[in-house]
Structure 1
């Protein structure tokens, strides 16, 4: 674990791998150390933001001693995301992978996913665990508008667009589940370390 300053009010912890980043994120939130105002996990890092005036050297000395949980998700059941598999790129993904439409759906929905981190737009979770057979490149020409709820893949990741936005990921289907809701606490349904399953069928 390598800890560096990130400006005057934050520390950047380089964990080396995703699992440790998730476990450290969970440990920091559980410990609720004084002075910390936000914890932002990445793929191999955790940013620890503090109130101005916090003794960063003292905080940095405490972080390596924090006990890390074995399970960052706390044993919670996977979040189930219902999907109607009728995406615009479903046939193209089948052609690129040499699979049938049904095989693409089966491989996508049978995988066990974990929220690696949030980014791109509020509530957009990058999900790891995608079947390697479905690792396809982004579209050469991104769409100017992707509808909210679009279920998509790109490279090793799967995701659901929480709001309408431009995007270049391959669209497999759609879900009516609200991934971002400002009236909810927290607004994002998905959080780093959560497990996720896609369930074929009717979307709410």
Structure 2
């Protein structure tokens, strides 16, 4: 793991893989909650964790360098969100072709997978979900759709995701949910936050 300064009051941790990112995100959040780290924001991404609003980045970097995060483990069921899904996405046959299985097997694999929110981006409340086995990454559409309905469940690369609002998008659609994933009046506004375990269950 490498620690780099970003501007005057931020640090960027370069990590090895998504599990390493999650381990450091969880460790830094625990340390902040315990009063051992001061940071306004802890923001994971695909291979990095950003700490923003750090009063003394040099001192913080020295302390972080001496920490060892705990390995990623399955959280309690109370920390899991079950998202009710109707599996009727128009790209299910395309995903089945990439995976070399039939459509019912695609749906069963998605039901059986426990996902984890790796990071959020693209749009407010859009969570990138990891957990699919290696080898099941799928390509994006060659030409993105001009409008993907809110609640659409989709796959792209190694990730699954759920569109919190209607927007353009090039992911492969496998289903939909009626669950509200982003509400500016909620605390936190995003229903799915980094580290949250997610199951895509039948609606």
* Greater CA drift, 59-68 or 38-47: 59-68
Aligned positions, number: 199
| 1:30/1:138 CA distance change after superposition, 3 Å | same
Q: How far apart, CA to CA, are the structure 2 residues paired with 1:97 and 1:154?
A: 13
| 1:57/1:133 CA distance change after superposition, 3 Å | closer
TM-score (ref. length: structure 1): 0.87
1:171 to 150, 170, 173: 173
- 1:107·1:131 contact (CA, 8 Å) conserved in 2? no
Unaligned runs of 5+ in 1: none
Q: Counterpart of 1:14? A: 14
Listed one character per residue, the Cα deviations across residues 81-106 of structure 1 (whole Å, up to 9, x for unaligned) are: 11101112123323443322211111
Q: How far apart, CA to CA, are the structure 1 residues paired with 2:133 and 2:75?
A: 24
Equivalent position SS for 2:13: strand
Q: How far apart, CA to CA, are the structure 2 residues paired with 1:20 and 1:81?
A: 26
Runs of 4 or more above 3 Å deviation: 69-77, 95-98, 131-134
Q: Counterpart of 2:3? A: 3
TM-score (ref. length: structure 2): 0.88
Please state how far the C-alpha of 1:107 moved relative to its aligned partner.
Answer: 1.5
Alpha-carbon RMSD across the aligned residues, in angstroms, is 2.0
- 1:22·1:72 contact (CA, 8 Å) conserved in 2? no
Unaligned runs of 5+ in 2: none
| 2:49 matches 1:42 | no
- 1:81·1:175 contact (CA, 8 Å) conserved in 2? yes
